[in-house]
């Protein structure tokens, strides 16, 4: 028999999940379900509001809608399976499923990082170079920014996956996590993993650390400019910026620890992933959108419109009977 072919005997992995304690699992079930449903509803509401309201057809809001679209992806890749798995004794995932998860997580995650940079640049130009804003940030630019973000996300993901798709697995097939990702995945490969670890640190580690610093620097620039030009608005700007920085730390902190931590894997990093995968997609709408006055007004308009359509279709109003 062909020994080479049988080398890869592992065709599925056991995800050990976060904990084996029954009480904590019930808590996690409620926690994940609430956050997942809330972030899906919030992000879908944002997309509907922005697409349906022509007052919001500007670059900033299109970027926000795209961020919401990406966030529905981020939260849907691993969370539903994890919620489903919580009460299963054997949490299995096939090799193909595992690779698919890594592909989608990194494509969407890479895209989100680039999009966050674009959004920070957009705010920077709007606040610090307002006279040039309309010249630089046109709607055409927006489409090319979004296309660039997806291209970079895709390249980032494929560049890592290309090295691992054909690797042999022979040893243990248990992963101490609730979804597949490179750092734990490559630990299970039979061959020498040192170069692979370096590759992941150089790719995922670099993109998350780089984005983190670019975002922090751009926020500091914006804050300094706002403080110089206005005294009244600076406390509001400060609170908005603090909120942004909190989200950025929540999202990037776990990524950086997960991909560039040079020492043996930390036991808490499987919990840290919850922040990137579940909490940030929920926080983004809260931070970027629900604090925004124009968005709130537009959502009210959308609700009123939906309400009036409902009333018209359920109870024929006098106006309807007049016209018929
Ligand atoms: C993303 O941005 C483009 C414009 O650049 C816009 O046409 C599109 O509707 C946005 N996507 C979503 C889901 O809103």
| pLDDT tens, residue by residue, 214-264 | 999 988 888 888 877 766 556 666 777 777 788 888 888 888 888 877 666
Ligand 1 centroid from CA 208, angstroms? 24
SS3 of residue 12 by DSSP: strand
Query: Are the CB atoms for 116 and 217 separated by under 8 Å?
Result: no
What atom in ligand 1 is closest to the CA of residue 47?
14
Ligand 1 centroid from CA 273, angstroms? 28
Phi, psi (rounded to 5 degrees) for 140: -65, -40
More confident residue, 296 or 19: 296
Binned at pLDDT 50, 70 and 90, residue 175 comes out as confident
The residue whose CB lies within 8 Å of the most ligand 1 atoms, and thus the one to mutate among 45, 47, 66, is: 66
- Regarding the beta carbon of 69 and ligand 1, being less than 6 Å apart is answered yes
Q: Nearest C-alpha to atom 2 of ligand 1 is from which residue?
A: 62
Q: In what order do the strands lie in the sheet with 92-94?
A: 92-94, 12-15, 174-175
CB count in 10 Å sphere of residue 145: 22
Binned at pLDDT 50, 70 and 90, residue 4 comes out as very low
Domains of the chain, start order: 12-294 (1.20.1070.10)
Q: Where are the beta strands (DSSP E) in the chain?
A: 12-15, 92-94, 174-175
User: Global pTM?
Assistant: 0.84
Query: Are the CB atoms for 188 and 10 separated by under 8 Å?
Result: yes
Residue 97 exposed, middle or buried by CB count within 10 Å (0-12, 13-18, 19+): middle
More confident residue, 13 or 112: 112
- Regarding the beta carbon of 72 and ligand 1, being less than 6 Å apart is answered no
Q: Nearest C-alpha to atom 5 of ligand 1 is from which residue?
A: 143
State how beta strands 92-94 and 174-175 pair: unpaired
């Amino acid at each position: 028999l062909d020994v080479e072919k049988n080398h890869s005997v592992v065709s599925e992995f056991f995800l050990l999940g976060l904990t084996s304690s029954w009480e904590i699992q019930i808590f996690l079930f409620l926690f994940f379900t609430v956050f997942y449903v809330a972030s899906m509803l919030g992000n879908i509401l944002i997309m509907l509001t922005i697409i349906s309201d022509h007052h919001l057809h500007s670059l900033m809001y299109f970027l926000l809608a795209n961020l919401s679209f990406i966030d529905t992806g981020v939260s849907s890749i691993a969370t539903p399976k994890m919620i489903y798995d919580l009460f299963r004794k054997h949490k299995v995932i096939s090799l193909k499923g595992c690779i698919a998860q890594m592909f989608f997580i990194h494509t969407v995650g890479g895209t989100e990082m680039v999009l966050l940079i674009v959004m920070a640049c957009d705010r920077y130009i709007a606040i610090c170079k307002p006279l040039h804003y309309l010249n630089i940030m046109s709607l055409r630019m927006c489409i090319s920014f979004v296309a660039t973000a997806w291209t970079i996300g895709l390249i980032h993901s494929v560049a890592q996956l290309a090295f691992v798709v054909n690797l042999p697995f022979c040893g243990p097939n248990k992963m101490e996590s609730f979804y597949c990702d490179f750092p734990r995945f490559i630990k299970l490969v039979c061959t020498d993993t040192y170069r692979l670890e370096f590759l992941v640190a150089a790719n995922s580690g670099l993109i998350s650390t780089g984005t983190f610093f670019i975002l922090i620097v751009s926020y500091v620039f914006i804050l300094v400019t706002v403080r110089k030009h206005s005294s009244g608005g600076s406390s509001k700007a400060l609170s908005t910026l603090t909120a942004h920085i909190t989200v950025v730390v929540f999202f990037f902190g776990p990524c950086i620890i997960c991909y560039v931590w040079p020492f043996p894997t930390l036991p808490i990093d499987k919990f840290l992933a919850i922040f990137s995968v579940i909490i940030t997609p929920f926080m983004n709408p809260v931070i970027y959108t629900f604090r925004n006055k124009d968005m709130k007004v537009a959502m009210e308009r959308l609700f009123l419109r939906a309400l009036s359509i409902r009333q018209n279709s359920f109870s024929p109003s006098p106006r309807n009977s007049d016209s018929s």
